[in-house]
Amino acid sequence: MYEKLYDENAYAVEFLSDVMSCKEVSWENEDVFEFVLEKTSFFPEQGGQTSDTGMFYDTDSENEFEVFHAYIKDDTVYHLARLAEKPVVETRRKKKIEDEVPQKIEVIPPKRVIGRINWDERFDKMQQHSGEHLVSGTVHRLYGYDNVGFSLSSDNVTLDFNGKFTDEDILEIEKTVNRAVFENFKVKVYFPDEQELKKIDYRSKKELTGRVRLVEFPGYDICACCAPHVASTGEIGLIKIVSAEHFKGGTRMSIKCGYRALNEYRSLLDSARGISRLLSVTIDEVLPATEKLKADLQDSRFKLNGYMEKTLCYAFISAVESADRDHNNPIMFTDTLDPGVIRKAINSVTDRTNGYSGVFYKSEKEGYGFIIASIAKDCTVLFAALKEAFETKGGGNKTMIQGNVAADEAQLKELLKEYSNGVFL
Ligand SMILES: [Zn+2]
């Protein structure tokens, strides 16, 4: 009989099985082997959880296969595998038809294999999945919300709930589920008969028929589930709710359990240490020190803008006052400046000249940002000229135009000469 070892024993890392079938199939444009075994420990992708990976070792040859994916169809687990790159015995090479054709290695399908799942990956998923049951069961018990979506991959765990939480709720859930971990009680996995099942109040995303596998965290949760779980709650390790965001009228929660939580803690601590070193404060003082730094920066920027505005106005006014109104159309090229500052400076000279006054400033995008004003000339004429000559975005009216232009200083000056007989600053 076909046997799913992962149903009964989540810790069956290695197993021996007859091979029911092994054939070459095409998977995402690659020729791979598809195995069906008499029994397997490989948990196939299902219920939001990605599959186990691991190895098959042919007992009659030295051929080894890397199992990279497993899926279930009509209650049969299909394992997809590649021949591992190592010297192969018991294989025969097809005669080369032409020298330039790559040799194809013909593999004799194994009759029996030793299977070995990647235990680190499996245990990591067991920690996350068991943690998820504790969180979902606790949410259901305390707030009455259902888990309506679940995804578990090698780097991400998300839980969707049909309700919203306050920050206090999240703290309460976290405290409750971690208490379950510290209590370190046994997790029960069983298949109740139909009569027993009717009496049990369990969570399930869908109406189930046939043999139902229940996973019970006594006092916290009972849920229908097909995945491998830890034997006792202490193995889950720390359960941390990393985020809880509004999603489709409910909440999408992201959690990290066990080693993942430990790795996250380590990485966050490294970041905090780095920031504390940069600010020369202790880790506890990082937040207030950063807030102060931000306030100081805003203050400095405000002061700097004031100085820049004065300098810009001074440069404009001196240019305008050194000759008559018609021949002084100051246009400045400069590094990045605050557009607000530029606008104020331009406004201070527009009524002193009959030409264009403006600033081209290096923008974050390619080329220049610009603000140009005039009380006597039509700014839209200049905008049209810019647009015709270069890739130009923006707009405005007769008295002021603003935008971005993809051109360099020399190109712009060449064009501006036709429209402005003034000075470049
Ligand atoms: Zn589950």
Residues around ligand 1, an ion, CB closer than 5 A: 225, 227
Element (DSSP H or E) covering residue 216: strand 214-217
User: CB–CB of 217/225 below 8 Å?
Assistant: no
CA of 213 to the centre of ligand 1 (A): 10
Q: At 112, is the secondary structure helix, strand, or coil?
A: strand
CA of 299 to the centre of ligand 1 (A): 53
CA of 36 to the centre of ligand 1 (A): 24
Q: At 52, is the secondary structure helix, strand, or coil?
A: coil
SS3 content of the chain, % helix, strand, coil (to 5): 35, 30, 30
φ, ψ dihedrals at 368, nearest 5°: -130, 150
Task: Write out the two tokens for 23.
Answer: 């054939």
Gap between the terminal Cα atoms of the chain: 88
CA of 227 to the centre of ligand 1 (A): 6
Reading the chain (425 residues) residue by residue, the pLDDT tens digits are: 468 999 999 999 999 999 999 999 999 999 999 999 999 999 999 988 999 999 999 999 999 999 999 999 999 999 999 999 865 445 455 455 455 555 667 889 999 999 999 999 999 999 999 999 999 999 999 999 999 999 998 888 999 999 999 999 999 999 999 999 999 999 999 999 989 998 999 998 777 777 899 999 999 999 999 999 999 999 999 999 999 999 999 999 999 999 999 999 999 999 999 999 999 999 999 999 999 999 999 999 999 888 888 888 887 778 777 766 666 677 888 887 788 888 888 888 888 888 888 889 987 777 899 999 998 889 999 999 999 999 999 999 999 999 999 999 889 988 888 877 656 66
Q: Residue 214: CB partners within 8 Å, gap ≥ 6?
A: 188, 189, 190, 191, 192, 197, 200, 202, 222, 223, 224, 225
Residue extents of the structural domains in the chain: 3-117, 123-266, 301-419
CATH fold group of domain 3-117: Elongation Factor Tu (Ef-tu); domain 3 (2.40.30)
Q: At 15, is the secondary structure helix, strand, or coil?
A: strand
Amino acid at 232: S
CA of 224 to the centre of ligand 1 (A): 7
The domain over range 301-419 is classified in CATH as 3.30.230.10: no
φ, ψ dihedrals at 223, nearest 5°: -145, 140
Q: What separation in angstroms does the CA of 381 have from each of 213, 218, 351, 373, 407?
A: 76, 78, 19, 12, 18
CA of 133 to the centre of ligand 1 (A): 6
CA of 157 to the centre of ligand 1 (A): 12
Task: Write out the two tokens for 150.
Answer: 């679940």
Model pTM score: 0.76
Task: Write out the two tokens for 41.
Answer: 């420990």
CA of 331 to the centre of ligand 1 (A): 68
The domain over range 123-266 is classified in CATH as 2.60.120.10: no
